[in-house]
Amino acid sequence: MINIFSLSGLKMSDQKNIVHRAHCIEKLLSENNFQDIEDHLKELEDVVMTTEYLQGTEVAKAVYRVLKSCPSAELKKKAKQLLSRWKALYKNNYAASSKTLLASFEEQHTDNEDSKPPVKEASLQQDLMRALRCKCTDLLYKALTGSARDEEETDKWLELSKEIEEHIFALHAKNEKKYKNCIRSKVSNLKNPKSCHLKHKLFSGTLSPKAFAEMTVMEMASDELKQLRALYAQSSVREHQLPQVINGTQTNKIKCRRCEKFDCWVRNTNPDEQMLTYVICNECGEQWYHSRWICL
């Protein structure tokens, strides 16, 4: 009897391995360290690659960079062989999918000549959304693994990135634009050195993936930034509420157009300017001009 759970675990392990290898290749290329790339290419040769893995990771992009930027002819040859094999995999998969869709269409057309095959369009939309979600998961994973030290940590970050993406998708499944913007916001904050507290809390478990997915920009900010924003806001309120003109005349005969309180300061503008009355509410800080006032 086939153990379904063991097969699922093998698939998950393959995907983790692919993501890990792609990440290592990218890092080695950025450091111009070409000696250790060969081991990762050999590992990728032994992986049973699928189109889902290719769409859901950036392994093809990493290997293509080896082909274009690596000075070693041997490494370029290995990279080219891998890319050729994966390209053939795409072609075979596309041909098989086309035959399946064609057969489905012929069967439906035989049953009802007026019916339209919605299978192809729906399947295409599902594939595009699946590819988008895999890409977003990979972006979250890369943002989280910037400080990873060993394989155990990268495995945990991979699981966390998947959970975070699932919760974000649950929040914005009906609005792709909001989904993308939320992913961008989370990735940006995870990459920000001043927001390292988010990674620490996620890794330690004090911040759950669900809670992180639901956090606003203000909630993700560091304590230092929150205090700074609070000080700015408090300072702005004080400046707005205090009378700006000390040589005005205080009166209780004018009602503020915002808060409707009778506590205002009044002064006239410079005699050289057009005759205007300048009013400031002492309660809420509202300010306005009114020309040719004679009520006072």
For 37-58, write each residue's pLDDT tens digit: 888 888 888 888 887 887 778 8
- Specify the pTM: 0.41
Which of 94, 178, 97, 197 has its CA nearest to residue 136?
178
Of the pLDDT bands very low, low, confident and very high (cuts 50, 70, 90), residue 88 is confident
Residue 288 has pLDDT above 50, yes or no: yes
Range name among 42-46, 112-116, 206-210, 258-262 with the lowest pLDDT average: 112-116
Q: Between the ranges 4-18, 90-104, 187-201, 218-232, where is the mean pLDDT highest?
A: 187-201
- Burial status of residue 195 (CB atoms within 10 A of its CB: 0-12, 13-18, 19 or more): middle
Task: Give residue 214's pLDDT.
Answer: 92
Of the pLDDT bands very low, low, confident and very high (cuts 50, 70, 90), residue 8 is very low
- Between these two residues, 105 and 125, which has the higher pLDDT value? 125
> Residue 288: what are its φ and ψ, rounded to 5°?
-160, 160
Residue 179 has pLDDT above 90, yes or no: yes
Q: Between the ranges 50-59, 104-113, 157-166, where is the mean pLDDT highest?
A: 157-166
Q: Give mean pLDDT, residues 193-215.
A: 88
Task: Give residue 295's pLDDT.
Answer: 39
Residue 165 has pLDDT above 90, yes or no: yes
Q: Give mean pLDDT, residues 115-124.
A: 61
Q: With contact defined as beta carbons under 8 Å apart, do 278 and 265 qualify? A: no
Task: Give residue 259's pLDDT.
Answer: 84
Task: Give residue 43's pLDDT.
Answer: 86
Task: Give residue 180's pLDDT.
Answer: 92
Q: What percent of the chain has pLDDT over 70?
A: 68
Residue 144 has pLDDT above 70, yes or no: yes
Q: Give mean pLDDT, residues 95-112.
A: 52
Task: Give residue 90's pLDDT.
Answer: 66
